[in-house]
Structure 1
Amino acid sequence: MEKDSILKGRGAQQNTPNKFLQHMYEMREDFLEFCRLEGEEAESNKTQYIPIFPKTIVNKVDSPDVGMMYSMNPYQGCEHGCIYCYARNTHEYWGYSAGLDFERKILVKESAPHLLEAKIKHKNWVAQTIVLSGNTDCYQPAEQKFGITRKCLEVFLKYRHPVGIITKNALVLRDLDILKELNTHQLIAVNISVTSLSENTRRILEPRTVSIQKRLDTIRMLSENKIPVNAMLAPMIPGINSHELLQLAKAVSEHGALSFGLTVVRLNGAIGQLFSDWVKKALPDKADKILHQIQECHGGSLNDSRFGVRSKGEGKIAEQIHEMARLARRRYFEGRTFPKLNMELHQRYKDGQLKLF
């Protein structure tokens, strides 16, 4: 790895142009050289937290490729910096870049708990699982400062409403008290993302995430407290982590996961440019091979937008990945089932208290 060429602590190595904006911002080489000679930073690498004030917080998910009907995101942008993250493109809707802006400009929705409460108290709302982190991680570093996710979980508990969580951060254990109480009513399911067993891979692929061991320990701790855990072994990236699938499945199974899911990486929108730039800097000797193998999974392109196919991939490499997944389920998850969440309690708690009459 050419360490000198890598921007430390970040996944993206550039800001790609925003397709919705007429003008683009570009740093000239002479300015960068001037900053280098003067010992100055051309721009700050610090994270900014920017408050925003949405009118709604719960989103209906129309994609048939995603196993959820509703999601909510307390934060837009994510400091974890995972280079492959499909959510990067959504930052362009806010006028920012899908690249470094996505990791350094975190939009904070402090009104999320109040908006959530108004949504699930509405007379026409019928309980369906709402997933925290359908887009960006609800337990990213910003949560330590703002605590919005915990406040949302308190709302779910108050109204006995089913909730799912997707995260790759051990910070979820901070809220174990609420999770345990939700689980007594069968109202919680947690999805922990584990993409590699190699810390070297984790550091360059997901630079500001917790270690793999902490994620496995999180699965174990949740499982020991009877909270159902599904492991997200996603995305599988040929040439980077796809060869680890069996070992990953074995590890999450041994730590108590009841099931696992996976996707084959696709690099849609600005992510194709960001990933290509990153892989040539982070893994220069393997970059061309990795990009070609990803293309083999999507008919010669880095992306496939067809529902039902785009997350699975096609061709021999994708088939091998899915065959390994079938083998892993037979070998490590035989007889395990993931429970359905309780949709029946919420109607009786809509007014904030159990109706007696």
Structure 2
Amino acid sequence: MPSNSLLFFVTKLIKFEGFKATNYWFITENEILIELANKTNRSTCPYCHKSTDKIHQSHQSHQYRVRDIPLSSFDVFLFVNRRQFRCKNCRQVFSEELSFVKKRRTYTKKLAQKVIEEVLATDVANAGKRNRMSSAEIETILKELEEDLLKEKPQGLKRLGIDEITHLKGGKNYAAVLVDLDKRKPIALLEKRNKEAIAEYLQSLGSEKLNEVRDVSAKLIEMYQIKESIRDIFESQITGDKALWDIAEWIKEAYKYFPRSCQTIKRWIDEILAYFDNRTTPSTVEGINQKIKLIKRRGYGLKNFDNFRRIVLLNWHFC
């Protein structure tokens, strides 16, 4: 049995408020299991919200094992007895809540937060290496956290922005992005970008929240439909002469919403109409140019042109 001073040190090390370390074991050469106990003998009933100290059951069948942030070279697992209480007020039996782990999760909130920060800063593979976890384990954590996020409804939504993004090369499989303009954060990413999918999501928020954004969302949907209509022009098999008339009509309708874009189209109308003659765009060249810039940044600038050319050509050779 570890000494009290050592257990006090372990308690300070793991930092779970209201819990203390009562024992620990080295289960393998690189894994440690720490037994925790709640410092208090009371819990709050989830049914009537009254506090009770009457323990209904406290035995090994309710012991709970969860994973925590690694310590030094050791993977850390926590072993805690999740006691059952009987409420003195409503007589209901319930299991106590563990403040450091969500319901039906096998990892602590601290580990989840650490994984999220590292995935956002790097990627799944690197986050897995740093936490000695497989990519599948990392993705399971991300999937469970995403499920929690999808259950949450946006709070205080007043102004809604709608845009689109494609997650595949070639401009296919467009998704709709819904943004809280005041908080400047995305609130939803819908697999389809059509009006029906957007309306279905808005209705899922409930009538009260929908009423808050109704005036704004109606205007944005109209803007979105106008924006989509010019895509139809470019995707239709028409000549440059027909395209000129269609674009002119589009500008009349869109100018009140997109004045700067309309002015840009007017300035470059000859070049735009040339697209309808041979259906080619500079997008491929621009995409390659962006990748070349990324290669240059990764190399912190390549002053020698021969080295620069060699790295660029080799990148495409091994794609």
Taking structure 1 as the reference length, the TM-score comes to 0.23
More helix by share: 2
| Larger RCO: 1 or 2 (CA < 8 Å, sep 6+) | 1
User: For the pair shown, which has the larger CA radius of gyration, 1 or 2?
Assistant: 2
